[in-house]
Structure 1
Amino acid sequence: MTLDLGAGANSLPTRSGLKTCRIGPFEPELGGKLSDVHLAYETWGGLNASKTNAVLVVHALTGDSHAAGKRDESCPKGGWWDEVVGPGKVIDTDEYFVICSNVLGGCSGSTGSASADPGTGKPYGMRFPTVTIRDMVRAQKRLLDELGIEGLALVIGGSIGGQQALEWAVEFPDFTGKVAVVAATSYLGPQGLGMSEIGRRAITADPDWQNGDYYGTGRTPENGLALARMAGMMTYQSAAGQWERFGRTPATRGRHIENPGGTFDVECYLQYQGSDLARRFDANSYLYLLRAMDLYDAGRGYGSLEEAYGRVEAEMLFVGIPSDWLFPADEVEATARCMRDAGASVHYAEIDTNSGHDAFLKDWDELRAAIGPFVKKENRGNGEARRRAR
């Protein structure tokens, strides 16, 4: 395996840009084989001498490794969690060595459907094997091994990132001290599955999708991807939040498609979100990551969900959002109770705003209040105590 660390594995930089790590061959759990996998990642802060201050931040569906950083030409929007990751912030890079990688199957530097198949030299397209949340986590573990990380102080993420955080607690129970699962549960419910299917059909019905082999043709399914994004954005909002933000106000934004009788502001917003994602994201990757989110079941491969939760040694935090209908807060809280009943040390908090599922990406004061006490408190050593008891 080869590793591009810039300053070298034994001299990790204080602040680094995008890097790529080759983790080599990889066999996804549902079949297939990838002969040469690379993961893109970024780091902030420095690893201490005892290697006990590493934190893994895991991104949401269309996120990437750029969790922190101000706006610049390479990233006009800045880091997607810059409000909570950085010097003196909740995830304090003066204290922690923070890692964020683009997931396996992604399209921001990591191996995915747009990558060249070493066997053919052509992009995988839909010949890329199905990847799962567990595959993403196992690939992240290989990356951390290459970085010389022997354990994590914390894993934290929201939505599909929350699913990954939960899987870390189950799959590698003795590797992390604390895990924070934000706006996610052990599996997605039927309403969420149905909305995912609408998004997939929007992409595959686009004539320019070409069964996934659109690379190099000059035609991409940007209309289908834009529609999928528009449907997805509606799942991330709440009804109350949309009344508060948009109401029935006529469009006040920039360029948009006019509808008969005029265009509403919410319509203009959705048009912008759709076209913005189509400019920066790969449609096939969207299909793969959305399916990974749908397929996730924390109990897969174990006798029961309770048995899976019985493996957990990390101290856990679950964060629900009462206005979220993709991962409803009562289902998040029920997941927390189930894990507590299985013997884990579990806390529950809420982000009580009208922003819906998206609250963990915009309601910064409320997010900091929900995760701050857990992130900053001393680890209770729950995992170590349970290991001694075995």
Structure 2
Amino acid sequence: MAAIPVSTLLTCRLYAQVATPSDPLVLESGRVLKSVTLCYEVFGRLSPERDNAILVCHALTGDSHVAGRYRADDPKPGWWDDAVGPGKALDTDRYCVICSNVIGGCQGSTGPSSANPDTGRPYGLDFPIVTPRDMVRAQARLLDQLGIRRLVAVIGGSLGAMQALEWAATYPNRMQGVISIGGAGRLHPQAIAFNEVQRQAILNDPDFRGGQYYGTPGPVRGLAIARMLGMITYRSDESMWAQFGRDVRGPGNALQRGFDVTFQVESYLHYQGQKLVERFDANSYLYLTRAMDLMDLGRGRGSYEAAHGLIKARVLAVGIRSDLLFPSYLQQETVRLVRAAGGHAEYLEMDSPWGHDAFLVDFPLIAEPIRRFLDSLERTDGA
């Protein structure tokens, strides 16, 4: 397939057909997707040599809109505005930054809310289970269409960090560097437990209708509760005290409110739950949390330790001091295993009280180290 012209790659929200009935996407499970569309966005201009691209992989409820207000006619903020843009760590005057919505998502890419070509109806729970490795293989097809054979780096936080590490093991010659923030090559059991409780909140909502709720309001209560629990795992006790303490919401006697929303922290959780219901598909929440559970860099590669020996890119693993969901020992383990296999890896810790959310809300703390790491990739590649 001919590469997309360079002149077209300065825009927002594009679509690529990365699997067709004649060239389907075979998943890790053995299931096949006959048709796959990826929604992606591009920030910055691709060089004529197509050698200045950075791939950003998004987290659980993220999307392709990594940078907002990038153009005068784009009023929507991006989820990583602190990181991507002119003069920022991912400098769009220097790099071409690409971000795609993952398969299984609900922001333009093929997922459970998409039409099943065999039935014409939304897949619902007929959508196959996907893994971060499947997401990466779909992204690789997108880059093939864009004519990008080698990336400067792959970067992401949380589920995005998992994809970044999977990129390094699956396509070791396609990037110079990998930046994994608050992620790991496999999920620890406590995080799997958190995910299962969130899924049960959705699955047990009477409005879930076996996953075929499209055309109805859907499992809004279950999804909101799932998000409420998720938000607790994204924060730290330290940040909860700093932002909410034990403050009571509004006037009146807390003792007389019964089970009504009383504390500010309760109000915050209800607000976050409602916000997600308005923009996200419950089935995608099920599939993407399960994808995180199933992440295992070592699957089919001999062992977890052996898989790190496949990584040829330079690795920057970023831990977050107060992270409950991906404790910093996981990122330190990544560095240890890459080094033990003879690779190059370094560890950076964010001294942030914001828990797992720090990679989003406190990115300036690591902006300069990431800029230096990207600079070092160019020097190494040119040596």
CA contact 1:83–1:364 (8 Å) conserved in 2: yes
- The question of 1:84 aligning with 2:80 is answered no
- Which residue number corresponds to residue 336 of structure 1? 335
8 Å CA contact retained: 2:42, 2:99: yes
Alpha carbons 1:65, 1:102 under 8 Å: kept: yes
Give how far 1:47 is off. Answer: 1.2
For residues 147-198 of structure 1, give each alpha carbon's deviation from its aligned partner in whole angstroms, at most 9, with x where no partner exists.
1111101100000000000000000000000110000111111110110001
2:350 match: 351
Aligned-pair CA distance for 1:259: 5.4
> Could you tell me how far apart the structure 2 residues matched to 1:266 and 1:159 are?
23
Distance 1:121 1:14, change over 3 A: closer
What secondary structure, in the 3-state scheme, does the structure 1 residue paired with 2:322 have?
A: coil
CA distance in 1: counterparts of 2:50 and 2:72, whole angstroms: 33
User: Quick one: which amino acid aligns to residue 302 of structure 1?
Assistant: R
Match of 2:147 in 1: 148
- Residue deviations 1:200-256, cap 9 Å, x none? 00000000000101112x230011000000000000011111111110011269xxx
The secondary structure found in structure 2 opposite 1:161 is: helix
Given that 2:322 and 2:354 are in contact with CA atoms closer than 8 Å, whether structure 1 keeps it comes out as yes
| Deviation (angstroms), 1:377 | 2.6
Distance 1:90 1:362 in 2: 15
- Is 1:319 matched with 2:318? yes
Q: Deviations over 1:20-41 (max 9, x none)?
A: 1001221211122111110000
User: What corresponds to 2:254 in structure 1?
Assistant: none
Which runs of at least 4 in structure 1 moved beyond 6 Å after TM superposition?
Answer: 71-76
- Tell me if the contact between 2:261 and 2:267 (Cα under 8 Å) persists in the aligned partners: no
1:243 matched residue in structure 2: 241
Q: Is contact 2:150–2:174 with CA below 8 Å preserved after alignment?
A: yes
Distance 2:73 2:201 in 1: 30
One-letter code aligned to 1:103: V
Partner of 1:388: none
Map residues 54-203 of structure 1 onto 2, 5 A cutoff: 54-70=53-69, 78-203=77-202
Q: Is contact 2:6–2:48 with CA below 8 Å preserved after alignment?
A: no
Which moved further from structure 2: 112-121 or 13-22? 13-22
Closer, same or farther: CA 202–87 of 1 in aligned 2, 3 Å: same
Structure 1 position 16 matched with structure 2 position 15: no
Give the paired residue count: 374
Q: Which residue of 1 aligns with 2:228?
A: 230
Q: Whole-Å Cα distance in 2 between the matches of residues 219 and 85 of structure 1?
A: 35
Letter matched to residue 306 of structure 2:
E
Gaps of 5+ in 1: 386-390
Contact 2:104 2:130 in 1 (8 A): yes
Instruction: Please say if 1:208 is aligned against 2:190.
Output: no
Instruction: Assess, with a 3 A threshold, how the Cα gap between structure 1 residues 66 and 308 changes in structure 2: closer, same or farther.
Output: same
Q: Is the 8 A contact 1:250 1:262 kept in 2?
A: no
Does the aligned pair in 2 maintain the 1:72–1:78 contact within 8 Å?
no
Measure how far apart 1:357 and its partner are.
0.4
Name the SS of the counterpart of 1:310 in structure 2. helix
Once residues 359 and 379 of structure 1 are traced to their aligned partners in structure 2, the CA distance between those partners, rounded to angstroms, is 27
Matched, 1:275 2:270: no
Q: Hey, what's the Cα distance between the residues in 2 that align with 1:230 and 1:72?
A: 33
CA contact (8 A) 2:6 2:47 kept: no
Q: What is the TM-score normalised by the length of structure 1? A: 0.91
Which stretches in structure 2 are left out of the alignment for 5+ residues? 252-256
Q: Secondary structure in 1 aligned to 2:99?
A: strand
User: Is the 2:111–2:127 Cα contact (8 Å) retained in structure 1?
Assistant: yes
- Residues 67 and 77 of structure 2 are in contact (CA less than 8 Å); yes or no, is this contact kept in structure 1? yes
CA distance in 1, matches of 2:15, 2:369: 32
How far apart are the structure 1 equivalents of 2:14 and 2:260?
A: 50
- Residue deviations 1:272-296, cap 9 Å, x none? 1000001100000010000000110
2:56 alignment partner, SS class: strand
Normalised by the length of structure 2, the TM-score is 0.93
- Structure 1 distance, partners of 2:341, 2:267, is 47
Letter of the 1:171 partner, please give it: T
CA deviation string 1:43-93 (max 9, x = no partner): 011111222101100100000000001299998761111111011111011
Name the amino acid aligned to 2:298: G
Question: What's the RMSD between the two structures over aligned residues?
Answer: 2.2
Amino acid at match of 1:236: Y
